[in-house]
Amino acid sequence: MSRYDVYGALGSPYSMKVRAAMRAKRLVHTWTGMTAEDRQSVMPNVRAPVIPVIRKPDGQWTNDSTPFLLSLEGEGRDLLPPSPVARFACLLLEDMADEWFMKAMFHYRWAYEDDAEWCANWLMFDSLPNAGQDSVEAAASTIRERQISRMALVGCTPQTGPLIEASWKRICSELETLATSPTRFLFGDRISLADLGFYGQLKVMSVDPTPMLWLRKETPYLYRWLDHADDASGIDGDWAEGIAPIVENLLRIAGDTYLPFLKANADALEGGLDTFSLEIEGRPYEQGVFKYQAKCLQSLRSDWSDLSADDQDALSSMIGPGSRILMAGS
């Protein structure tokens, strides 16, 4: 076998990210939107029950989207810009998209009644394509209740909702500037891992009722940009020299928002706590601790330590005071 087989779901932002990445890299692959029947044969091949699941050409299986895509650098077209400063900026922004920006996807999908009904029905239709409307909607009711019950664990509550929505809209407004900028993507005219991170979340939100309406009204060119990012296999271009203002603005948001979030989670884990709370952008935030997000901070700190002092200084000037969190032991 000389191809990658990607098993995912149209409602999964990480599935959308990986599918678009495989297209952008021009790697031979298949895409399967998994049904409930497919899951029975695919999911036992991986330890964590998360998607997408990828079968590699050597027959090995994996399902953590970012480590998988990083392992493909050097195969097909690269998704990381070559300069150390741009590379780190790309990694940080992609991480923010995966672990912070995604909270808006979960919030909008399950906090609003119309969205919760629509999205649950849609997800179950994909999973049970031949089951008939009654069976689909019965299964949808179950998954809707399960997901709503998890909202507090991942930080999506009535108290945190205003912060999550405001932060999401702040980032989307910056990305709207990108969509109408002289370059097609964050780091030039080549799509990057960071672009794909934001794309994955926004792709599924672009059909969820409440965020779809906001995106189409407030960020119409970003909404259309999603179709460009969906398949960039035919888009040729070069990496930009230097860091664009839009990237600087997003890095400052990461410094204000995402890095303090990661540090609070890591500190709580180290202290043996089950939850953590902090103030972000002047608003309260609380959620349960996650070991995976502590690994994210550890990985970012490792990448930071590999940078030269000059590169760290350049990035610190863009990230702001939050950059101190990237120093080991901070």
Q: What is the tens place of the pLDDT at every residue in 17-28?
A: 999 999 999 999
Asked if residues 143 and 120 have their Cβ atoms less than 8 Å apart, the reply is yes
Mean pLDDT for 37-48 is 95
Mean pLDDT for 94-118 is 96
Cβ neighbours of residue 121 under 8 Å, at least 6 residues apart? 136, 137, 140
Q: What is the tens place of the pLDDT at every residue in 137-159?
A: 999 999 999 999 999 989 999 99
Buried-exposed string 88-111: b where 16+ CB fall within 10 A, e elsewhere = bbbbbbbbbbbbbbbbbbbbbbbb
Q: Please check the confidence at residue 330 and state whether its pLDDT lies above 90.
A: no
Beta pairing partners, 30: 5
Give me the pLDDT at residue 328, please: 76
C-alpha separations of 41 from 2, 34, 53, 158, 214 in Å: 21, 10, 11, 38, 39
68 alpha carbon, distance to own chain's centre? 14
Give me the pLDDT at residue 121, please: 97
Q: Please check the confidence at residue 1 and state whether its pLDDT lies above 60.
A: no
Domains of the chain by residue range = 4-71, 84-105+159-326, 107-149
Q: What is the tens place of the pLDDT at every residue in 166-208?
A: 999 999 999 999 999 999 999 999 999 999 999 999 999 999 9
Asked if residues 213 and 6 have their Cβ atoms less than 8 Å apart, the reply is no
Architecture of the domain made up of 4-71: 3-Layer(aba) Sandwich (3.40)
C-alpha separations of 49 from 71, 74, 135, 235, 288 in Å: 21, 28, 23, 34, 19
Q: Which of 97, 112, 198 is nearest to 156 (CA)?
A: 112
Rg (alpha carbons) of the chain, rounded to whole number: 19
Cβ neighbours of residue 176 under 8 Å, at least 6 residues apart? 218, 219, 221, 222
Asked if residues 156 and 103 have their Cβ atoms less than 8 Å apart, the reply is yes
C-alpha separations of 155 from 9, 95, 281 in Å: 23, 17, 15
**Vertex 208: Cα angle to 173 and 262 (nearest 5):** 55
Q: What is the tens place of the pLDDT at every residue in 289-327?
A: 999 999 999 999 999 999 999 999 999 999 999 999 999
Predicted TM-score (pTM) of this structure: 0.96
pLDDT band at 2; cut points 50, 70, 90: confident
Beta pairing partners, 8: 33
Buried-exposed string 127-159: b where 16+ CB fall within 10 A, e elsewhere = bbeebeeeebbebbeebbeebeeebbebbbbee
Asked if residues 255 and 322 have their Cβ atoms less than 8 Å apart, the reply is yes
Give me the pLDDT at residue 289, please: 95
313/308 Cα distance (integer angstroms): 9
Asked if residues 269 and 212 have their Cβ atoms less than 8 Å apart, the reply is no
170/293 Cα distance (integer angstroms): 22
Q: Please check the confidence at residue 122 and state whether its pLDDT lies above 60.
A: yes
Q: Please check the confidence at residue 249 and state whether its pLDDT lies above 80.
A: yes
Mean pLDDT for 205-229 is 97
